[in-house]
Amino acid sequence: MRGKIALVTGAAGGIGEAVVRALSERGALVAAVDKHGDRLHEVVAELTSTGLQVHAFPADITSSAEAERLVAEVEDALGPLDHLVNAAGVLRLAKARELTDADWAATFAVNTTGVFFMSRAVVNRMVPRRSGAVVTVASNAASTARMDMSAYSASKAATTMFTKCLGLEVAQYGIRCNLVAPGSTETPMLTSMWKDESGRTATLEGSPEAYRVGIPLGKLARPCDVAEAVVFLLSDQAGHITMHDLTVDGGATLGV
């Protein structure tokens, strides 16, 4: 990763922050992007204080114009992008028939449309250079039905297929597009689903009433576990891998 330039969305926390850290620790120059500017600057300040090369770029990826402006600004400031990591995501919990219009729209705006805007803006610049790698953080819920997560699951399923189709179209230019599909990961998004400590127990051991089998490895993923998978798919070690969906869920979806 040394000398590579990467853009990571959702960089102000959770998996996105872990990806920024993992890439910068390996010598990459990272553009850290998030809508939450204050928290983003805190994260970047912490990382740069240890000598890592990370720059904050607050932006709203749900705007097409903003995405195009952002990518142009990043390349003007740092240089041509080698890597894009789509890690921004939101979760709205509700029964499918009780979701509000706003819940549905907000979920797809970030998880799907934002990925489309960012991928288009970056890959269109990669094509003339005939190189680059994109990794989108999807979810194991994209292929396994979950109670109260229909909007989230649907958005991640759409994003998964979009990324694979994009990868097929740009393979001829030497650009690889892959996905990492995390399961339950120790982040604020996960803990926001728990009412008390019983939520952790149900996640680990399973919940028959919700048709969840638990996690065979008996532990939650850490953000760094997911970040390591992202780094691998971006790296030259994965140079012959594209359109792949790498599940990182401790066996929660039983390898399906």
Catalytic residues: 152
Q: CA–CA distance from 162 to each of 4, 106, 204 (Å)? A: 25, 18, 31
Distance separating alpha carbons of residues 92 and 150, to the nearest angstrom: 9
Match 């994209």 to its residue by tokens.
142
Distance separating alpha carbons of residues 178 and 124, to the nearest angstrom: 17
Question: Residues in the chain, how many?
Answer: 256
Helix (H/G/I), strand (E/B), else coil: 30: strand
Distance separating alpha carbons of residues 188 and 201, to the nearest angstrom: 16
**8 Å CB contact between 91 and 192:** yes
60, two tokens: 């709203």
**8 Å CB contact between 139 and 152:** yes
Q: CA–CA distance from 193 to each of 97, 153, 250 (Å)? A: 19, 15, 19
179, two tokens: 């996905």
Distance separating alpha carbons of residues 69 and 139, to the nearest angstrom: 28
Q: What share of the chain is helix, strand, coil (3-state, %, to 5)?
A: 50, 15, 35
**8 Å CB contact between 234 and 24:** no
